[in-house]
Structure 1
């Protein structure tokens, strides 16, 4: 027997689920003879690529990890004392293994279906409680993207709340981290906000200021008493934002106690690796009176249909979809997974554990300061938490060299060096520093009374700045300190959440596809996770190679000249792309071009992002088939041709169709002096078949957390890099700290130079292992799977829009509006799907009363069939209501989801059986996922807004005597 020794397993066969036999059956159901025929009927011939993608040969999973290890070895992981908002941490193993590396947590979707998301909702409520307690504020959100953009969101919130509409100056302390100032410059320009950057101790607060922002501790480590400054600001009607170090607030007086109106920062120090810049969860806390102006998502306490404790997203959770161009924020992706990790870090350590960690950090910085002062070095900070600042004079060069010899990185600015101590620093590390600082002066460690200093370390924080208030007093933060208890707590929450581990999540526009284990493994390798984003460039060779390869591959896939990897969410990519277009027009002396044409069907972040970029929105109509009305577009492009900046388009359309007129649309915009911005949300239907540049776009952002397999993580992280045509390359985002300027770069749009760098590895792995053929097949099978579902369901649910040959792209909209006269809402279908073991598709977007279904290429035929069987069974349940065979009010849809408590209760008074409620199809018994709460009461939650873990004695129910579960879980 001849053996095949050249065999190498192809990763695409693991990623793309339907096998050959299943594919044949699916094509037969659809009514075509081949996959090529289906693609020809779906994707217009005029936009198809003429040649296959030019990408490296696909690697096997084994080979990829071996190759990546070689790349990773080019990163030199020195001990980092750079600080500047990024610190090395100790990630508790129980959190790393059971959350960060656990698909039960990282494959969850944003918790829009609260009944099957109670675990992560509780974890995010823990995060909010932690932030509220440590900052001394009254309310907090469930995370933002990073510290710099959180500061920018605070500036916008202050601007929108200003009483003096003529006030347009924002005071910025010169001691903010430079990357934060950089982002404030970016965000302020389109609104005409004037930044006054200076010293808060000497700058005058004036009547034309609407807000001010300071850092606590300051960027160079100094801890100022801002109480008088806050009082002076308030006397002038100026609101104060404080950028705070969360770990320092364990020891320092919280900003909420001395006058802050908003407190922002990063929770990275709470057990989240540096990862060369991210992802990290920012926090945003403020006063109760501003609760309806908070950007991002807020988790709130409510009750379910039984009157029991339940959680859901509260208030304006996606206000950009409602307010569109009037929105003050375009935030769509948070950093849920990282916020959950940070909250769990606080749960695991508790208030006493955090205090010991903070005291140790502060103590080691005092020991370092005292030791170097004894050697004759001048320490410049009077008060500090973790960062000591020295003017090294002529010894700066030798100290720098010695630090590198000892594999240590400090932060340097001229002759001044700052050294930031973190959780991983040891006494031996301090001793090593003292030893080489002594060496440079011709001395030795014996010239320092090190042991005596070590034995007598005292806090140098003045009494008036020392924290006296309690924090994390809730029982939740005082119960789970052994690993057994912590593991069981994490698993108890995980068990309440439906993820891709359980079943298909067929969310239109959200692309919930396989997040392969091999793609995820390298994220926690030390060579990637322990890198500081401002490490010297000669230490970052591995990352630079990875970025270069990813840039080249994504440029090939999109057809563009270059990418910026900096935007760390899809909406950030939108904003960055629009700011690049704005800079291009200004550079050509056409800064007056500020009209953005946007289709009425567009994702809500499109008009929100355009408004934030200083543009005026003109809406373009869609026709009865859901396509862009070309005549209306042409008329408006010509009407505004002197001021036209851009046209924002999603392709395939938000309606799930490859519009035949797309090339004509792009030409119309170009003929009238505008640029075409393509929203890359639907790139999963483009890759390998067409490309944004081939179609005619000038800019496109890519949702790497959709098309390129970065997991959604329960609501984040995301990544939204942008690709641009050659004429826009010079304007790609730069950075204040790391030189990535393209010549005419706009200021930074994210805090780190390459955004959430550590998760770029996931998309790099996906492309490398799929290769050109695999990526193209992924697109083809995404279209196949969608059209298979359409073929099975269109007799039961009308498909709202299709292409000229009756095909959908990679997603479709099922019309459920005809059920409304019989009392059945689309929400009822969404909740009933939970009883069948499924997360609902996207509900009421982009058309109210519909569901948008996107199966992805990763789902096998039998899973598609399970979903279709469930949808068909639900349609029969609706038929029963329509025909009067089922009660209009008391039926399985209106009462869904059915919990185990309801099914097993002694009393059952419904006209349908328990079996019908819990096990509506035979397969459900084997796959049963029990929602942990009944249908949540949104109205109650908004009426009695509680956004932190409620004390058991204070929480009262209006509709039930049921006791709240202990610990609020």
Structure 2
């Protein structure tokens, strides 16, 4: 029942250790309403930043930082006792000192004038926290505040030798920590830089080629959009800083919210949800709060078409909803009559419809407005998943279509980088009648307003009032620079690119779904299911062979098993689209050789892919095809080649042999060598 993801150790085709995501079949896209988590964007980039902080400082460095932070807090507490103007309770503390006084606000106001924020707990109590950015000079400024304008006869530095630890001996850690060599090797800037670059070299990114993941919108993250993230004015501010000290942020929140309302046709936005999955959860909870405010506590049924985004059923299950699935027709469109029957059958307990537009099948639903009307006529609300908003912006909008709630993946449509899992933002837009129920926050009010009927907002969705606010300038910059015409052109080009690729590939692979006019939306599905019968080739084989061509595989076997879903976005040039199509066409020729008996059905270049240097440069080569063809199947690879670091990973071994604590390099190699033997 653990939420999230587990990374375990498996083996590759040469018996080498290889890390992989284990137990993938429990994930939300596959298990749907049976999933234990709706996690979509896992904030991995932020987790990596925290991890690298530990890698750089190591166990000794972290302890040194902790000792210094505790030392500053101890000097502060000792100095206050010497001043005698306030009371410092005899409490154990690490970095935060509790202070009792006659008038907490007066002291906080005096500190404010010296550009120091103190946390007021009540009229006679406040706390002061220190971290590694604090200095002895900061402590001296605090002493001046508490001296009430009188001179201070000592300095923080002079008290340093007098203080003792306030941490009880029973709480002092005795066990070792961060013992892996990774945390004990890279403690200079050069060493850390080289380690990071070594890791970076293993990742196939947009620096190398297009990433055609369907429903993920891996588009350009322009440098000019990224620059504001580095500005101290955005980066070095506490999420609970007084709002008057963050007026720039407040202006951006307001402007961005208004821009998103214009784009979507909604009346208000909450910027709090931290990811698309969090946005889904927040949107459904808004709908739930709305129904409860009307006394409709029985409304807990959520209708979800099979063409909806993969996290939708998991999100609905997390909200305690009963899920009713409806199917699609042969063209991939939602079966409207199935929706009508389901809505009428549950008209007394219908809560919502979750729909993705354009659908995850890559087509515009011709009857989407009728579907919305059916739900509304039966007392439900329409939740639209914003995963495919890249095909709507400037051309249509969720509000115009008839949706009541929609989340936007700012990390997809609006250019925040999200490869590898984060950071993401999933703001939700709502119609006027749902505005009172938007997420709020107990520390800083952010949205949701109590109405005369005493209905309340749903509460918090993220720990911080505006989620990962630091990355919002990326989307704000993108929208501001593109303008309405630029955003509309981007949608048009994304759709054009997808249709161009589908047209180039249709004579080589079946294209699974098309709209009534024979076109696709911004993404399309390539059907590989027939090759299992003719050549024993599956979607995974094609995806792995694409690595040899220098491409990340498209979304595999979702939403339809045995297929690849491709989304080119508007960012890619025709030359890059052609290069990817050429790779798939070349792979189709490789499949033909198997079908024609020219290549072995069990031992061929697709089953052997990918081909890492360790395999290609080995003394023995037993493959029925050449090393050269394995590594350089296309001419362009001679000029620039992305080399995979492992061969085909054994998925079953990884699931059956979970190793979730990474061993030291040499012991791990020895253990895996023994397992292989």
Q: TM-score, normalised by structure 2?
A: 0.96
Alignment correspondent of 1:810? 522
Alignment correspondent of 1:561? 267
1:906 to 594, 602, 619: 619
Residue 340 (structure 1) aligned with residue 48 (structure 2):
yes
Gaps of 5+ in 1: 1-292, 964-969
Higher relative contact order (CA 8 A, sep 6+): 1
Alignment correspondent of 1:350? 58
TM alignment of 1:772-811, pairs within 5 A: 772-811=484-523
Residue 556 of structure 1 deviates from its aligned partner by 0.3
Query: C-alpha separation between the residues in 1 aligned to 2:609 and 2:252?
Result: 47
- 1:363-417 CA-to-partner distances (Å, cap 9, x unmatched) read 11111111112222212361111001112222x2221111111101111122211
**Conserved 8 A contact 2:140-2:155:** no
Aligned residue pairs total: 667
Residue 328 of structure 1 deviates from its aligned partner by 2.8
Residue 605 of structure 1 deviates from its aligned partner by 1.4
Alignment correspondent of 2:304? 598
Q: 1:468 to 1:660 in 2, by over 3 A?
A: same
Question: SS of the residue aligned with 1:430?
Answer: helix
Alignment correspondent of 2:661? 948
- 1:68-113 CA-to-partner distances (Å, cap 9, x unmatched) read xxxxxxxxxxxxxxxxxxxxxxxxxxxxxxxxxxxxxxxxxxxxxx
2:287 to 557, 569, 581: 581
Residue 437 (structure 1) aligned with residue 149 (structure 2):
no
Question: SS of the residue aligned with 2:618?
Answer: coil
Residue 618 (structure 1) aligned with residue 324 (structure 2):
yes
Question: SS of the residue aligned with 1:876?
Answer: helix
1:402 to 74, 94, 110: 110
Residue 948 of structure 1 deviates from its aligned partner by 2.6
**Conserved 8 A contact 1:814-1:850:** yes
Structure 1 stretch displaced more, 739-748 or 458-467? 739-748
Gaps of 5+ in 2: 451-455
2:165 to 446, 451, 459: 459
1:390 to 87, 99, 110: 99
Residue 624 of structure 1 deviates from its aligned partner by 1.8
Q: 1:738 to 1:381 in 2, by over 3 A?
A: farther
Alignment correspondent of 2:445? 739
Question: SS of the residue aligned with 1:487?
Answer: helix
Alignment correspondent of 1:833? 546
Question: SS of the residue aligned with 2:576?
Answer: helix
Task: Name segments (4+ residues, structure 1) moved above 6 Å.
Answer: none
- 1:485-543 CA-to-partner distances (Å, cap 9, x unmatched) read 11111111111110000000011000000000000000110100011111111111100
Query: C-alpha separation between the residues in 1 aligned to 2:219 and 2:156?
Result: 56
2:205 to 489, 494, 499: 499
Residue 434 of structure 1 deviates from its aligned partner by 0.9
**Conserved 8 A contact 1:307-1:957:** no
Query: C-alpha separation between the residues in 2 aligned to 1:779 and 1:584?
Result: 33
Question: SS of the residue aligned with 1:445?
Answer: coil
**Conserved 8 A contact 1:336-1:713:** no
Structure 1 stretch displaced more, 587-596 or 565-574? 587-596
Residue 590 of structure 1 deviates from its aligned partner by 1.2
Question: SS of the residue aligned with 1:955?
Answer: helix
Question: SS of the residue aligned with 1:548?
Answer: helix
Query: C-alpha separation between the residues in 1 aligned to 2:62 and 2:360?
Result: 47
Alignment correspondent of 2:250? 544
Residue 947 of structure 1 deviates from its aligned partner by 1.8
Question: SS of the residue aligned with 1:927?
Answer: coil
Alignment correspondent of 2:126? 417
Question: SS of the residue aligned with 1:393?
Answer: coil
Residue 684 (structure 1) aligned with residue 397 (structure 2):
no
Residue 531 (structure 1) aligned with residue 231 (structure 2):
no
- 1:555-613 CA-to-partner distances (Å, cap 9, x unmatched) read 00000001000000001000100010111111111121111011122223111111111
**Conserved 8 A contact 1:683-1:707:** yes
**C-alpha root-mean-square deviation of aligned residues, in Å?**
1.5
**Conserved 8 A contact 1:308-1:962:** no
Alignment correspondent of 1:427? 136
- 1:790-848 CA-to-partner distances (Å, cap 9, x unmatched) read 01001111010000011000000000000112211110000000000000000000000
TM alignment of 1:183-198, pairs within 5 A: none
Question: SS of the residue aligned with 2:639?
Answer: helix
- 1:421-475 CA-to-partner distances (Å, cap 9, x unmatched) read 001001111111012111x2x63211x5755421123211111110011111222
**Conserved 8 A contact 2:613-2:643:** yes
Residue 906 of structure 1 deviates from its aligned partner by 2.4
Alignment correspondent of 1:759? 471
Residue 854 (structure 1) aligned with residue 561 (structure 2):
no
Alignment correspondent of 1:311? 19
Residue 315 of structure 1 deviates from its aligned partner by 2.2
Query: C-alpha separation between the residues in 2 aligned to 1:931 and 1:457?
Result: 55
Question: SS of the residue aligned with 1:723?
Answer: strand
Query: C-alpha separation between the residues in 1 aligned to 2:101 and 2:245?
Result: 24
Query: C-alpha separation between the residues in 2 aligned to 1:767 and 1:956?
Result: 49
Query: C-alpha separation between the residues in 1 aligned to 2:435 and 2:572?
Result: 37
Query: C-alpha separation between the residues in 2 aligned to 1:467 and 1:708?
Result: 45
**Conserved 8 A contact 1:296-1:317:** no
Structure 1 stretch displaced more, 880-889 or 375-384? 375-384
Query: C-alpha separation between the residues in 1 aligned to 2:157 and 2:490?
Result: 63
TM alignment of 1:474-489, pairs within 5 A: 474-489=180-195
2:359 to 646, 653, 661: 653
Alignment correspondent of 1:924? 637
Alignment correspondent of 1:360? 68
Query: C-alpha separation between the residues in 1 aligned to 2:567 and 2:214?
Result: 4
TM alignment of 1:24-43, pairs within 5 A: none
Query: C-alpha separation between the residues in 2 aligned to 1:927 and 1:782?
Result: 26
- 1:308-361 CA-to-partner distances (Å, cap 9, x unmatched) read 121111224762223322323211111111111111111111111111001000
Residue 949 of structure 1 deviates from its aligned partner by 2.5
Query: C-alpha separation between the residues in 2 aligned to 1:844 and 1:599?
Result: 18
**Conserved 8 A contact 1:297-1:317:** no
- 1:111-144 CA-to-partner distances (Å, cap 9, x unmatched) read xxxxxxxxxxxxxxxxxxxxxxxxxxxxxxxxxx
Question: SS of the residue aligned with 1:710?
Answer: coil
Query: C-alpha separation between the residues in 2 aligned to 1:317 and 1:570?
Result: 20
Query: C-alpha separation between the residues in 2 aligned to 1:810 and 1:451?
Result: 63
**Conserved 8 A contact 2:105-2:120:** no
